[in-house]
Amino acid sequence: MPPSTTGQSITERAQNGAIADPQEGLFDKTIDDDALEALLDKREDAKAKRGRAQKAFKDEDDKVRARLSEFELADGEVGRCGKYRIAKRALPGRSVAFETSPSSRLYISLFE
C-alpha cells in the first residue's frame, strides 16, 4: 500500500519507527478550497480540545475509581455519596462474533 493511503501522517509513521518519505504527497490530488480548509482547521482545533478533555476526564475518573476501591463495594451493592449513586454490578462473560461489510474510510490528518 503506498504511504499516502495508510491514513497516518508522516509524523505518526516517523514515531512508529517508519522513515518519513520526503516525497510524501507528491501524487496527491490538490483541493483548492478555502472554505474546506477553514472547516478542516476548526475540526483540528476541536479534535485537540476533545483530546485534552478526554485526558482530563480519564485522570479524574481514575482518581474516583481508586478512591471507590477503598470502600470495597460488593457486586450488587449500591452506595450513595452526596448527590451520586454508585452501583457495582457483575457482568457475566460472553462470546462475541460478528462480520463486517466492505466499506471505505476517510482519513484526515495534518500534512507535515
Q: What is the 3-state secondary structure (H, E, C) of 38-90?
A: HHHHHHHHHHHHHHHHHHHHHHHHHHHHHHHHCCCCCCCCEEEECCEEEECCC
Same domain, 79 and 42: yes
In a domain, 97, yes or no: no
Domain that holds residue 14: 1-29
CB-count burial class (<10 Å; 0-12, 13-18, 19+) for 40: middle
Same domain, 47 and 77: yes
CA pair distance 13, 17, nearest whole angstrom: 6
Same domain, 82 and 37: yes
Question: Residue 28: pLDDT band by 50, 70, 90 thresholds?
Answer: confident
Same domain, 42 and 24: no
In a domain, 21, yes or no: yes
Number of domains in the chain: 2
Same domain, 24 and 35: no
pLDDT exceeds cutoff 50 at 1: no
CA pair distance 97, 77, nearest whole angstrom: 31
pLDDT digits (tens, 9 = 90+) for 32-62: 999 999 999 999 999 999 999 999 999 999 9
pLDDT exceeds cutoff 80 at 17: no
pLDDT exceeds cutoff 70 at 77: yes
Q: Are 3 and 24 in contact (CB under 8 A)?
A: yes
pLDDT, residue 107, reads 79
Same domain, 21 and 46: no
CA pair distance 1, 86, nearest whole angstrom: 49
